A and B are shown apart, each in its own frame.
Chain A
């Protein structure tokens, strides 16, 4: 079946690195995503990685993918108070004609000044 798991809460100090972890079950996933949701707002696409890659870096964000263990992580360098939000991991599943996303429960990131 399709399932995505995340830890629910992470607290870090401003300036530290944050690492948010995610595991998924569908080995046919083609793309994996990270979205950010601030209070009262919609989902903002942060980054995504294709399943044949093991790392992607985009400014302060680093995504690591371990396909063997079906483990995905998002590292935020030099975390700022503006990074406080809920972070959702998602996998894209289905046939090439179906691009639905299966989301994890979301990890609340609290950044303390």
Chain B
């Protein structure tokens, strides 16, 4: 079946611009996660959605980062006023019970 998909696969943006990254989870998976992978920080948890519960935003690095999940399915991660330190690969995962499956990621480059 289809896995987690993310778009775009690559995004180059100028410092100060806003960007939106999209994640389509595996159908039927109730939980959705965003992580960030960068050379300096490794793999970091950003935010987690589970059903209708309030999201766990404890990993968001600043208030420039936000995410929403519409209809319990697709999620969008928004970064406002991008900075060079936001350059990283943004990974989305979805899960049912204990197995988290990752998408291919969006490589964000802020110039």
Residue ranges of A at the interface with B (Cβ–Cβ < 8 Å): 30-31, 33, 35, 41-45, 48, 50, 88, 90, 92, 94, 97-106
Contacts and interface: CB of A to CB of B under 8 A. Distances in A.
Main secondary structure of the interface of B (DSSP, over half): strand
Interface pairs A-B: 6 shortest CB-CB: A103-B43, A43-B102, A42-B104, A100-B45, A42-B102, A31-B98
A92 B48 CA distance: 13
Which of the listed residues A35, A45, A100 has the most CB atoms from chain B within 10 Å of its own CB?
Answer: A100
Contacts of B101: 45
A33 B43 CA distance: 14
B33 interface: yes
8 contacts: A44-B102, A45-B102, A48-B98, A48-B99, A98-B56, A99-B31, A99-B50, A100-B56
The size class of the interface chain B forms with chain A is 20 to 34
Contact of B50 (A45, A97, A102): A97
A48 to B, nearest CB: 7
Contacts of A33: 100
A45 B53 contact: no
Contacts of B35: 101
Contacts of B72: none
A42 B103 contact: yes
B61 interface: no
B104 A99 contact: no
Contacts of A103: 42-43
Contacts of A98: 48, 50, 56
B99 A45 contact: yes
Given A42-B102, A45-B99, A48-B99, A97 B42 contact: no
Contact of A45 (B33, B48, B59, B100): B100
